[in-house]
A and B are shown apart, each in its own frame.
Chain A
């Protein structure tokens, strides 16, 4: 991952794809690398006071691009475990 002033870019080494994500999502991704969370744990973490609903939704969408979580639009019962 490389951070710039406006956003971060991430190389998904498994697929070779490159993604751009907000710095907020990049910070969350770093946290997940240190502390892998199950989807329910992540959801609980995201609704802590620092994040409002829109931010939670946007963050989950960004992480879903990397295949780290299932998109909030999807059936959460099918969510894979989060591992970075």
Chain B
């Protein structure tokens, strides 16, 4: 019997290319380096002098041995309280989400998953608990290219979506659902007892990383909602109503004023918009395959 060989860990000090951003990551903790090596493609490792953001994951002073903790640093500052060491890798991912959402204001940013197919983007805005990440994970291994599981980056100049492929955050029951649905997929370290319950990250399909510079115009918007036992159904959403729901999911919509308003209105006007309810992943994928075709 052979044990699958794990990819080598990332260096403790590395520069990651994540779509339009370059992030300087200092990973002092070995499990974080292992997680990066497991969940990111090596094409993300780049060289250069410039980084948009500088982050670090390390043990806070005095908490290396007794009830060890992990601390996220951004430009040397600590925007969050430390977490138990077992949650170190998840903390890096959460910290990266915050870093982009709090600073990348040249984009209109929505809390939404984004996937691409046939050259067009599907935007799926949803609050936590809606089944967005589970659906995104499944789609990203069935013909859809992952742009992001968390943040839709909308270019305010032309309305295109920019990919920022990073591991998909799975929570609680969805971890086993995806493990069963995508046998052979790569899952990262499991973080238990987090504020969100048990959390584990899924490595995106290699194609998502390799094509991280290929943007796409928005074509479809779907508000997903998982309901146990429900049939997969798409229900059209009136545009003005959709606009208000999209604005609610904005990270920086209010901050951008008229520019954010116009960008969102343009996207709303140009897309087919649906409420999407599902109870079974296979059925959901089948419906997407039939319906979301240009």
A interface, CB within 8 angstroms of B: 2, 4-9, 11, 13, 16, 18, 20
Dominant SS among interface residues on chain B:
helix
> What separation, in Å, do the CA atoms of A16 and B255 have in the docked complex?
8
Q: Which of B122-130, B185-193, B257-265 contacts A (4 or more CB under 8 A)?
A: B257-265
Q: Give every chain A residue within 8 A of B240 (Cβ-Cβ).
A: 4, 6-9, 20
* Residue pair A2, B269 in contact (C-beta under 8 Å): yes
Can you list 15 pairs linking A and B with CB atoms under 8 Å apart? A2-B262, A4-B243, A5-B239, A6-B239, A7-B238, A7-B240, A7-B241, A8-B240, A9-B243, A9-B261, A11-B258, A16-B254, A18-B244, A20-B241, A20-B244
Q: Give every chain A residue within 8 A of B257 (Cβ-Cβ).
A: 11, 13, 16
Q: Give every chain A residue within 8 A of B59 (Cβ-Cβ).
A: none
* Residue pair B238, A4 in contact (C-beta under 8 Å): yes
> What separation, in Å, do the CA atoms of A11 and B255 have in the docked complex?
12
Contact with A along B5-34 (1 / 0, CB 8 A): 000000000000000000000000000000
Closest to B255 in A: A16
Q: Give every chain B residue within 8 A of A5 (Cβ-Cβ).
A: 238-239
Q: Give every chain B residue within 8 A of A2 (Cβ-Cβ).
A: 243, 261-262, 265, 268-269
B225 to chain A, nearest CB (A): 21
* Residue pair B265, A13 in contact (C-beta under 8 Å): no
Q: Give every chain A residue within 8 A of B247 (Cβ-Cβ).
A: 18
Q: Give the contacting residue for B238; candidates A6, A11, A16, A18; CB below 8 A.
A: A6
Q: Give every chain B residue within 8 A of A7 (Cβ-Cβ).
A: 238, 240-241
B interface, CB within 8 angstroms of A: 238-241, 243-244, 247, 254, 257-258, 261-262, 265, 268-269
Known A4-B269, A16-B254; contact A9-B238, beta-carbon cutoff 8 A: no
> What separation, in Å, do the CA atoms of A7 and B265 have in the docked complex?
12
* Residue pair A20, B258 in contact (C-beta under 8 Å): no
> What separation, in Å, do the CA atoms of A5 and B236 have in the docked complex?
13
Going nearest first, the 6 A-B pairs with the smallest beta carbon separation are A4-B239, A7-B240, A6-B238, A2-B265, A11-B261, A4-B240
A37 to chain B, nearest CB (A): 25
> What separation, in Å, do the CA atoms of A16 and B247 have in the docked complex?
12
B269 to chain A, nearest CB (A): 7
* Residue pair A9, B265 in contact (C-beta under 8 Å): yes
Closest to A5 in B: B239
A4 to chain B, nearest CB (A): 4
* Residue pair B244, A9 in contact (C-beta under 8 Å): yes
> What separation, in Å, do the CA atoms of A9 and B240 have in the docked complex?
6
Q: Give every chain B residue within 8 A of A6 (Cβ-Cβ).
A: 238-241
> What separation, in Å, do the CA atoms of A18 and B255 have in the docked complex?
12
Q: Give every chain A residue within 8 A of B258 (Cβ-Cβ).
A: 11, 13
A23 to chain B, nearest CB (A): 9
B49 to chain A, nearest CB (A): 38
Q: Give every chain B residue within 8 A of A11 (Cβ-Cβ).
A: 257-258, 261
> What separation, in Å, do the CA atoms of A11 and B247 have in the docked complex?
11
> What separation, in Å, do the CA atoms of A5 and B241 have in the docked complex?
11
> What separation, in Å, do the CA atoms of A6 and B236 have in the docked complex?
12
> What separation, in Å, do the CA atoms of A11 and B238 have in the docked complex?
18
> What separation, in Å, do the CA atoms of A32 and B239 have in the docked complex?
25
- List 14 extra interface pairs beyond A2-B268, A4-B239, A20-B243, CB under 8 A: A2-B243, A2-B269, A4-B240, A4-B243, A4-B268, A4-B269, A6-B238, A7-B238, A7-B240, A7-B241, A8-B240, A9-B243, A9-B244, A11-B257
